[in-house]
Amino acid sequence: MIEPGAEEYSAENAPPLTPEQAIANLQSPDISLRYYAAWWLGKFRIKSSEAVDALIAALEDEADRTELGGYPLRRNAARALGKLGHAKAIPGLIKCLECSDFYVREAAAQSLEMLRNPMAAPALMQLLEGGVEAAVQVPGRPHLTQPYEAVIEALGAIGATEAVPIIQPFLEHSVPRVQCAAARAMYQLTQDPMYGERLVKMLESSTLQLRRVAVGDLGAIGYMAAADAIANATVENSFKLIALKGLLESQLKQELDSSVLCNNAIKVMNLMDSLL
């Protein structure tokens, strides 16, 4: 459930900035420059303390509002902070989980997923309150009451095993992408192959979008048993390569002797070669 237009910029069409300028622009009277600067600092991974502090301050911005009450600058600042990997952003991001703007909550959950700090688990679990019954579409909006996918994925990435009983029911949620997120997190939290196999099954879905999600999830959890299924899935090779790279990296992490490639790693690379 990515906000429309969230990745509308690319490095090529971006006006040239320096880190100092971008940080200064976060306080510019022109709010479009602030919005752009926040995106730019994340995109170019400007990890200086000044950049992180300025972005943390931007999480409380009141000036930039949409007609529906959204906070565009907060969204971009939250997204950027995940990419910068600084733990001091965690308290501010946790606070964003209570923001009235769905997309700020979603961006914060995604960034907390990247920062992987157990401190965020209780606040994330709070958003799952009410369980599957509360997880319904907001009338007139293209999203559910909470950013369930992002929250569940974050809890899985963080390793919040205490969340298992509240995540499990989401395997039966009516939205397939939420089911995928739940299967992915359940696998990460329990290592039970049953959940990996649920994602493998999703590769047979009739929707391309969903097959891409499942391929991505299998890569993210490094589920080795899915290697052939990923290589044979009907999605674009770029998606398969990224997923197989995830499998490969998780195999390499398990290697005891770093001078010898294990057979699983070689198998994955042979599959990747065939997709070039």
Q: Which residues contact other proteins (rule: CB under 8 A)?
A: 234, 236-238, 241-242, 245, 248-249, 252, 261, 265-266, 269, 272-273, 276
| Beta pairing partners, 144 | 137
Residue number with CB closer to other proteins (40 or 195): 40
Residue 221 or 248: the one with the smaller Cβ distance to other proteins is: 248
**Residue 179 CB neighbour total at 10 angstroms:** 22
Q: Which is nearer to other proteins, 21 or 264 (CB)?
A: 264
Q: How far is the CB of 108 from other proteins (least distance, A)?
A: 27
Contact (CB, 8 A) for 125 and 166: yes
- Residue 63 CB, nearest approach to other proteins (Å): 35
CB of 250 to other proteins, least distance (A): 10
Residue in 152, 153, 103 with CA at minimum distance from that of residue 127:
152
Taking the complex as a whole, how short is the minimal distance between the CB of residue 237 and other proteins, in angstroms? 6
Give least dist CB 195 to other proteins, A: 24
Exposure string over 34-55, b if 16+ CB within 10 A, otherwise e: bbbbbbbbbbbebeeeebbebb
Q: Residue 245: what residue type?
A: K
Q: Closest CB to other proteins among 63 and 266?
A: 266
Q: Which long-range contacts (CB under 8 A, 24 or more apart) does 226-229 make?
A: 226/196, 226/199, 226/200, 227/264, 227/267, 227/268, 227/271, 228/271, 229/200, 229/203
Which three-class secondary structure state does DSSP give residue 144?
Answer: strand
Closer to other proteins by Cβ: residue 62 or 273: 273
| Least distance between other proteins and beta carbon 218 (Å) | 16
Residue 137 has phi, psi (to 5 degrees) of -65, 140
Q: Which CB, 134 or 266, lies closer to other proteins?
A: 266
Question: Dihedral of CA 19/25/27/31: which sign?
Answer: negative
Q: Cα dihedral sign for 250, 255, 259, 262?
A: negative
